[in-house]
Amino acid sequence: MLFQEMQENISNSKLPLDLIEKIKSISSGFFNLNKNELLFKEGDITKYIYFIEKGDVALKKIKNKSEIDFLHLSNNELIGIDSVYIEGYCNYSAFTSTSTRGLKILITDFIELITEHKVASLELMKYLSSILNRIENNI
């Protein structure tokens, strides 16, 4: 029972409000995109990760010449967080499913944030675990 509760908490977790505020404080600017616009493309190198303030973004991957929609991220979530650990490389494409607005965060600034704030780093790991769990459940 305790394990099941932990799994539910991980799969339902969002970023904590204090971490959201820290992320917002280091943003490099805003973005506003209409439905079906590209945020980044699979194979690109990016300098940014993205925080969704309002909207929905579909993550898609090319497999056997077909585009697979494998996860949707929405309000108060980060997009491209995995690119932080692979020198900005994008493993998938991100398209808006609705009109979406958010913040751009330089990867270098984000790395500095999680290096200086150990609690933020731990919260981020919980969040990444929740995203991996959601991907696993969608496959």
Tell me the domain boundaries of the chain: 11-138
CB under 8 A, 24+ apart: contacts of 82-86: 82/128, 83/46, 83/49, 83/107, 84/49, 84/110, 84/111
What is this structure's pTM? 0.83
- pLDDT of res. 136: 64
CB-side neighbour CA atoms (13 Å) of 88: 10
Q: How confident is the model at residue 139 (pLDDT cuts 50, 70, 90)?
A: low
Give the Cα separation of 117 and 22 in Å (integer).
10
pLDDT at 27: 97
Q: Yes or no: say if 40 and 84 are a contact pair by the CB < 8 Å rule.
A: no
The CATH code of the domain at 11-138 is 2.60.120.10
Distance CA 51, CA 104 (A): 7
**Res 7: pLDDT:** 38
Higher pLDDT, 127 or 48: 48
Q: Using pLDDT thresholds of 50, 70 and 90, give the confidence band for residue 130.
A: confident
Do the beta carbons of residue 55 and residue 32 sit within 8 Å?
no
Coil, strand or helix at 6: helix
Q: Where are the alpha helices (DSSP H) in the chain?
A: 2-12, 17-25, 107-116, 118-138
Contact 88, 107 (CB under 8 A): yes
Asked whether residue 2 carries a pLDDT value surpassing 50, the answer given is no
Sign for the pseudo-dihedral over CA of 73, 76, 80, 81 = negative
